[in-house]
Amino acid sequence: MLQINVIPAEMRRVFFTFLIVIAGFTGFSQQHELGLMGGVSYYIGDLNPYGHFLTSQPAGGIMYRYNMNPRMAVRLHVLFGSLQAADSVILYNEDRNLSFRSPLMEFGGQYELSYYKFKIGHDKDFFTPYLFVGASFFKFNPQGYYKGDWYNLQSLGTEGQGTTAYPDRSPYNLAGFAIPFGLGFKVGIGSSTVLGIEWGLRKTFTDYIDDVSTTYADPTVLMAQNTEVAAALADPAQSAETEKTGFQRGNSSTKDWYSFAGLTLTFKIKDKSDSCPGGSRRRDSFKSKYLRIMKSESSIF
């Protein structure tokens, strides 16, 4: 039978340290924030390759931030916005005459690294720029306008998805994962409020936020196997003199991007150590208690 005293001393120390940290975690005065973000969202892709903030749409959501220490924080958020672009507006390839709009929802988390120390309610460390990177899940649904109505483009198969003539083209997913990254600036106001400004890009792994990626499908196939609307929205600039089947409609070698930018307003959430008169004394004594226990751990084991 294994005796606990034959466990290596270093392993016992790590195990015991872990237990002490978990037990005393709530004794620290951690800073939690809850608040709102409001601003804009926009898209970068086949219909808008370069124009940041062009055709921006209103966006907003809620966020929670946990400050691990004065330089590092983690954040969770749910953001809502919309994306849109049109060749006739962007003027990148206006003869193509494609356009779209899409609702957008993102649930994400990110790690924030502050340039300066930041403490809510502190007289000195009350502002800082910061960088962030994270991971997010997002949903979208591109739509096209035709004869007074908006149509969901994914179900129409405008590039031949779902037809026998293009068996290698499957309907794309309307949800995916993205990598958010960017920068911001925040400043503490009073004892519990934080005002910030933030801009972040999202690298996605889909080329269909705008429903545009590969080549033009045969319009007769779209008309016969999908719908008249699918053929019309696949090539709004239809011309009897021009045969486009097989020619480039989008750039499948690049993926689409989207962005959120705006103001954040958060408020510190008081924890037990803030409201309990003995909280600060417990925090001050935690380190000394830990050292005493570590000195005696060899006799315990």
Structural domain includes residue 25: no
Q: How many structural domains is the chain composed of? A: 1
Distant-in-sequence, close-in-space partners of 22: CB < 8 Å, separation ≥ 6 = none
Q: Is residue 230 part of a domain?
A: yes
In this structure, is residue 294 part of a structural domain?
A: no
Give me the pLDDT at residue 243, please: 84
pLDDT digits (tens, 9 = 90+) for 267-298: 999 765 555 554 445 445 545 655 565 566 55
Residue with tokens 């994270």: 134
> Which pTM was predicted?
0.81
Q: Is residue 56 part of a domain?
A: yes
Q: How many CB atoms sit inside 10 A of residue 118's CB?
A: 25
Domain-embedded: residue 298: no
Max intra-chain CA distance, the chain? 92
pLDDT at 71: 96
- In this predicted structure, the answer to whether residue 52 has a pLDDT above a threshold of 60 is yes
Average pLDDT over residues 86-115: 96
Q: What is the CATH number of the domain that holds 65?
A: 2.40.160.20
Q: What is the model's pLDDT at position 87?
A: 96
With 0-12 CB in 10 A as exposed, 13-18 as middle and 19+ as buried, what is 157? buried
- Name the residue range of residue 142's domain: 31-279
Is residue 113 in some structural domain? yes
Q: Is residue 206 scored above 90 in pLDDT?
A: yes
Q: Is residue 178 part of a domain?
A: yes
